[in-house]
Structure 1
């Protein structure tokens, strides 16, 4: 598989990434730090998207139903060299389904996620999945 995106920025302004029919605006200036995502946050967003896409994928393969999935991701950045060092996630799956096997789902997400595997090859990744039956 091959992927493509195109990004641009202008001096002393923000930037955007174009992917298919979507445009994602992100901050590159101190003035945008409080209201636009920065590149590190976009990176964590991609990690989150990978996991959520795999929840949907494995709900079909593992034969379980869910109403909503939510993920929160925290990261620790090192300064020298600047890089992500630790990533921790908490995935909540709202489901009444007794067929939801959390351990197998976690194993599959961590084995077959493209972004997940790319990230875990360069930094520590830990996480927890919780089934919420409310």
Structure 2
């Protein structure tokens, strides 16, 4: 039986620029990465990039489900904080806040949150290995 929907694939290429940074390219986009052992304030380090990916996943999830749920919103902000443990090195826990500018009911806000958690690729990749928790609230 043929798979009715082909699986999505992704491709990113990263090149070291110098001892301070690297560049990742995908499609026609480029992002500067902090790969300096001393840190680079002008770029995302790998942990910050992971948190940004989670934020983007959450917002993309909102964009995906709002038309289906007929959910009305004026704006959305996602705030993510993570704590890294040293041994073994990993994100010990990640906490997020989803702040939605909406007139929708609390039940509908909860439904939106449940859909974000259920259908987010990055969200569901991080969840098994990290203590990931957060809240959704109205602006």
TM-score by length of 2: 0.88
| Structure 2 counterpart of 1:42 | 49
Give the SS at the match of 2:35.
coil
Question: Which of these residues, 83, 88, 94, is aligned with residue 95 of structure 2?
Answer: 88
Question: Which of these residues, 23, 36, 43, is aligned with residue 30 of structure 2?
Answer: 23
Q: Distance in 2 between matches of 1:65 and 1:29?
A: 43
Specify every segment of 5 or more residues in structure 2 that has no aligned partner in the other structure, as ranges: 1-7
User: Which structure 2 residues correspond to residues 1-134 of structure 1 after superposition, within 5 A?
Assistant: 1-30=8-37, 32-98=39-105, 101-132=108-139
Aligned pair count?
A: 132
Specify every segment of 5 or more residues in structure 1 that has no aligned partner in the other structure, as ranges: none
Q: How far off its partner does 1:11 sit?
A: 3.9
| Structure 1 counterpart of 2:4 | none
8 Å CA contact retained: 1:93, 1:129: yes
Residue-by-residue CA offset, 1:51-87 (whole Å, 9 max, x unaligned): 0001111111110121211000001111000001101
Give the SS at the match of 1:43.
helix
Q: Distance in 2 between matches of 1:3 and 1:10?
A: 22
TM-score by length of 1: 0.91
Q: How far off its partner does 1:32 sit?
A: 4.9
Q: Distance in 1 between matches of 2:29 and 2:39?
A: 20
- Across the aligned residues of Structure 1 and Structure 2, the Cα RMSD in angstroms comes to 1.7
